[in-house]
Chain A
Amino acid sequence: MPQGDHIELHRKRYGRQLDHEERTRKKEARSVKKRAAYAQKAIGLKGKMFAKQRYQEKAVMKKTIAMHEEKDKNRRVKDADEGSAMPAYLLERDQVDRAKVLSNTIKQKRKEKAGKWEVPLPKVRPVAEEEMFKVLRTGKRKKKEWKRMVTKVTFVPPGFTRKPPKYERFIRPTGLRMNKAHVTHPELKATFQLAIIGIKKNPNGQAYTSLGVITRGTIIEVNVSELGLVTPGGKVVWGKYAQVTNNPENDGCINAVLLV
């Protein structure tokens, strides 16, 4: 035992108190009541946090008890595949795949005709112009009101040169400019931080698309070269579309879902 472990050394040489086991047993038994008393007495934030923690513990305990009681239940085991006369493992595989592929192609052709693409957020809340722009008063007497400042997050392409300040109507503040998005792959369920290449479409209007405003529901194009995707033809995919799923001006970051 190391030289500094005085407590353990004392315990080893002289043992514990004679009634040590009894005391620990009784203390543990009492702790249940103490916890309950604290749960009833604690108020404010501490009380809320403790209640939340306790609820989680109870839920887990209930689940474990239910799991243990499963063994006493009698259940009838049903055969999963009722449709075909033959069991599933004897069925031909090809048939199943081909049927699925056919129905998928038919569905895709129908969508292309309709001009609709399946996106995670088909409908978003419309953003009013008063919410999008803030009016800036300019001029010698601050009476002119033709300038607007964008209050939402914008994306500005890297090679962009602005109009002379006197003539620019829409001001996109640098503090609200972002060029990276946290993109989630819906199947892999993994999130990557990818650079934005450009804005494809903003559902609130064409004006906002050209301005580069990013709101909830905007389709953006992201640089997916680090994901290492390859087309069936053998070409490397480096850009893909993603749809923004949060309000970037409220969260300070752009969260998007990749459109596969």
Chain B
Amino acid sequence: MPVYNFKSMGVVPTAKDLVDIVLSKTQRQTPTVVHNGWAIQRIRQFYMRKVKHTQTTWHEKLSTILEDFPKVDDIHPFYSDLLNVLYDKDHYKLALGQLNAARGMIDKVSQDYVRLLKYGDSLYRCKALKRAALGRMCTIMKRQGPSLAYLEQVRQHMGRLPSIDPNTRSLLVCGYPNVGKSSFMNKVTRADVEVQPYAFTTKSLFVGHTDYKYLRWQVIDTPGILDRPLEERNTIEMQSITALAHLRAAVLYVMDISEQCGYTIKQQAALFQSIKPLFANKPVLIVANKTDVVALADLSAEDRALLDGVAAEAAKVSAGGFEGDKPGSNLIAMSTLTEEGVSVVKQIACDRLLASRVEIKLKSKRINEVGNRIHVAMPRIRDGTARPPIIPASVLAKKGLPPAAPRPTERDLQEAQGGAGVYNADLRKQYDLKDEAWRYDIMPEIADGHNVLDFVDPDIDARLEALEREEAAAAAEFEALDTGLADDHLSQAEWEDLHRIRERKKRIVADNRRKRAAADNTPRIPRTLDAPRSRTAERMKAELGALGLDA
């Protein structure tokens, strides 16, 4: 799986529990009542359903288990090798294979018994066949007890493995036991690795993370390795070997030059020679630890020669970085107790690893995809005018001056005047105003029940003027109109006529409004039947009156 999340594997129950789970599930999810008097087809169907349901449940449960466990052949070789070292690949594959075989066998049993159930002619016979089928399936699973127990143990251990990403930048720390690998790890990362005076304190891989150049780096601490042939190595050492073999990381070979770990420098150099083949294509750094006890300069000549020999070998074997420029650049002194040299080691290792990774990426074919997309455009020269960069005169003038005293920052001001909670920053001093007198004016916010800001407009003066001009123009226009509607031209008779007309109009409008305003319950003659609206109450009154009726 691409993301190594071994924690998300489901629990593998024991054989007994698994049998209980499946059988009780069948009991709950299939009908339970059957009668002797039913049609034989119905009885058969009842029992066939139970057999098939049990088979599907078994199939599902086993399939989830088989899919949860990682396939040793499909994962990163580091993890497959680690699983092999910890759990024995053969045993692991066998256990999973047996579960797979059991799953197939259960399917076959179900098929056979469903076929037999078709010939069941009595309830007893069908029931006996169903009992035989379920019993057979459960016996197959009871035999898988040891496999299930083993897989549960593997799952529990796997879930607690440190989450090492094999593809990211990593630093691998290796060396004899007790040289100070875990102390280095504790100093550089936040991993709380146990540090004790006895050998093999660290019994498995530990991972910690650190930052450098805005990138995340993995630091992997390994258990100590002894100088033995590969066949004789125990599980703990094999984990280190696996990490060295499969992770493309920068290797920090830590040596204890004070020999407090119990191994001489000669032995440590010999170990380096024997695990040299694992360092191919990796940047290697020789780190001399415990310099607070014995400084690098205080070493005897032969020990120093040994160290230099190891550093030279490392330079030859390793790849990437800046080897070859200085003969001693591979060897760095550090002391995890006093913490001197620790950050230097980290820096050099990270730089080396980065350089080697960049080199590899450049050499690979994929760089062309990215390289082709990056294009720095340089404008072509099209005419004779020179277009130099523009630098303001004040900057040019300033360039000659010595650097000014740092002016007090806002933060300094804040601290001086009481701190974060007490000081209220004066934002008004940065206002850009036409008149300095306005700087600390009190601004009204609410006027006549309205927000002043809703009405404030930078162009408000101009707009006001424009509006006034418009208004004046409209008024003048109106004045200039010679419509003849002015009242002083009329004579008395005309005035009275005008007055009467106006009154009548008002009355008509009022009537109409009244009619409209009243509730519209009155039946009205639609316009299609009486367009000129000639049928009025008065007409009716008149006509009926003419007939002689009192309307």
Least distance between B165 CB and chain A CB atoms (Å): 15
Q: Which of B116, B160, B161 contacts A252 (CB 8 A)?
A: B116
* Chain A neighbourhood of B206, CB < 8 A: 3
Return the chain B residue nearest A152 by Cβ.
B119
Residue ID in chain A nearest B207 by CB atoms: A3
Residues of chain B within 8 A (CB-CB) of A15 are: none
Contact of A176 among B119, B128, B133, B192 (CB under 8 A): B119
Contact A252-B112, Cβ < 8 Å, known A3-B204, A175-B119: yes
Task: Select from chain A the residue with minimum beta-carbon distance to B112.
Answer: A252
Which of B113, B121, B129, B207 meets A151, CB within 8 Å?
B121
Q: Which residues of chain A in 141-181 are interfacial with respect to chain B, using CB atoms and an 8 Å cutoff?
A: 151, 173, 175-176
Residues of B close to A251: CB separation below 8 A: 128-129, 132
A-facing residues in B179-226 (Cβ within 8 Å): 191-194, 203-207
- Is the C-beta of B42 less than 8 angstroms from some C-beta in chain A? no
Asked if residues B125 and A249 are in contact (CB atoms below 8 Å), the reply is: yes
Number of interface residues of B (CB under 8 A): 29
Q: Which residues of A contact B162 (CB under 8 A)?
A: 2-4
Given A2-B160, A4-B162, A45 contacting B116 (CB threshold 8 A): no
Instruction: Assess the B194–A1 pair: CB atoms within 8 A.
Output: yes
Given A4-B162, A45-B24, A45-B27, are A252 and B118 also a contact pair (CB < 8 Å)?
A: no
Interface residues in B228-245 (C-beta closer than 8 Å to A): none
Contacting residues, chain B, for A2 (C-beta < 8 A): 160-162, 203-204
A244 CA to B20 CA, complexed, in Å: 32
Q: Count residues on chain A whose CB falls below 8 Å from chain B CBs.
A: 19
Hey, which chain B residues are within 8 Å of A253, CB to CB? 132
Contact B116 A4 (CB under 8 A): no
* Closest A residue to B113 using CB positions: A252
Give B24-41 interface residues, CB cut-off 8 Å to A.
24, 27
Least distance between A209 CB and chain B CB atoms (Å) = 21
Considering the chains assembled together, what is the distance between the CA atoms of A2 and B194 in angstroms?
Answer: 10
Query: Shortest distance in angstroms between B29's beta carbon and chain A's nearest beta carbon?
Result: 14
A1, A4, A45, A175: the one within 8 Å of B115 (CB) = A175
A252:B133 contact, CB within 8 angstroms: yes
- Tell me, in angstroms, the Cα distance from A9 to B192 when the chains sit together: 10
Expressed in whole angstroms, the minimum distance between the Cβ of B540 and any Cβ of chain A is 92
In whole angstroms, what is the CA distance A250 to B205 when docked?
58
Question: Whole-angstrom distance between the alpha carbons of A251 and B109 in the complex?
Answer: 12
List residues of chain B with CB within 8 A of the CB of A4: 159-162
* Distance in Å: Cβ of A9 to nearest Cβ of chain B: 8
Chain A nearest Cβ from B194, distance in angstroms: 7
Question: How far is A172 from B204 in the complex, measured between Cα atoms in Å?
Answer: 66
Q: A46's closest neighbor in chain B, by CB?
A: B24
* Distance, CA A151 to CA B121, complexed state (A): 8
Residue A72 interfacial (CB < 8 Å): no
Closest to B121 in A: A151
In the assembled complex, the CB of A136 is this many whole angstroms from the nearest CB of chain B, namely 13
With the chains together, A32 CA to B118 CA distance in Å? 49
- By the criterion CB–CB under 8 Å, are A250 and B24 in contact? no
In the complex, how many residue pairs between chain A and chain B have their CB atoms under 8 Å apart? 53
- In the complex, the chain B residue whose C-beta lies closest to that of A250 is B128
- A250 near B129 with CB under 8 A, answer yes
Decide yes or no whether B495 CB sits under 8 A from chain A: no
> In whole angstroms, what is the CA distance A251 to B136 when docked?
10
Measured in the bound complex, the distance between the Cα atoms of B129 and A252 in whole Å is: 6
B124 interface hit (Cβ, 8 Å): yes
- CB of A174, distance to nearest CB on chain B (Å): 9
Confirm or deny: A134 has a beta carbon within 8 angstroms of a beta carbon on chain B: yes
List chain A residues, Cβ under 8 A from B203.
1-2
Chain A residue numbers with a CB within 8 Å of B204 are 2-3
**Chain A residue nearest to B24 in the complex (CB):** A45
Question: How far, in Å, is A47 (CB) from chain B's closest CB?
Answer: 13
**Does the CB pair A250–B160 fall under 8 Å?**
no
Give the distance in Å from the alpha carbon of A45 to the alpha carbon of B124 in the complex.
21
Complex-state Cα separation, A253 to B112, whole angstroms: 10
Binary interface profile of B, 154-173, with partner A (CB < 8 Å = 1, else 0)?
00000111100000000000
- A5 interfacial by beta-carbon distance below 8 Å: yes
User: Bound state CA distance, A250 and B118, in angstroms?
Assistant: 12
Cα of A4 to Cα of B203 in the assembled complex, Å: 12
The interface bits of chain A over 37-51 (1 if a CB of B lies within 8 angstroms of the residue's CB, else 0) are 000000001000100
Q: Once the chains are docked, how many angstroms separate the CA of A85 from the CA of B132? A: 57
Complex: chain B residue closest to A176, CB-CB = B119
For window 185-211 of A, CB contacts with B under 8 Å fall at none
B109 to chain A: closest residue by CB: A252
Residues of B contacting A45 with CB < 8 Å? Answer: 24, 27
Instruction: Kindly identify, within residues 1 to 20 of chain A, every residue whose CB is under 8 Å from any CB belonging to chain B.
Output: 1-5, 9
Q: Which residues of B contact A5 (CB under 8 A)?
A: 160
CA distance A244 to B132 in the complex (A): 17
Report the nearest B residue to A44, measured CB to CB.
B27
- A233-260 vs B: 1/0 string, CB under 8 Å? 0000000000000010111110000000
Kindly list chain A residues whose C-beta atoms are within 8 Å of the C-beta of B112. Answer: 252
CB distance from A113 to the nearest CB of B (A): 41
**Cα-based distance from A137 to B193 in the complex (angstroms):** 84
Given A3-B206, A45-B24, A250-B125, is A176 in contact with B116 using a C-beta cutoff of 8 Å?
yes
B108, chain A: closest CB distance, angstroms: 12
How near does chain A come to B21, taking the closest CB pair, in angstroms? 13
For residue A250, which residues in chain B have a CB less than 8 angstroms away from its CB?
124-125, 128-129, 132
Query: CA of A247 to CA of B162 in the docked complex: distance in angstroms?
Result: 57
Please give, as numbers and ranges, the residues of chain B lying within 8 Å of A247 by CB-CB distance. Answer: 128
- What would 13 A/B residue contacts be, using CB atoms closer than 8 Å? A1-B203, A2-B204, A3-B160, A4-B159, A4-B161, A45-B24, A45-B27, A134-B121, A151-B121, A175-B119, A176-B119, A249-B116, A250-B124
- 9 closest cross-chain pairs (CB), A and B: A4-B160, A250-B128, A3-B162, A2-B204, A251-B132, A3-B206, A175-B115, A252-B132, A252-B116
Interface contacts beyond A1-B194, A176-B116: sample of 11 additional A-B pairs, CB < 8 Å, sorted by A: A2-B161, A2-B162, A2-B203, A3-B191, A3-B207, A4-B160, A49-B20, A151-B121, A250-B125, A250-B128, A251-B129
> Interface on A for B, CB 8 Å cutoff?
1-5, 9, 45, 49, 134, 151, 173, 175-176, 247, 249-253
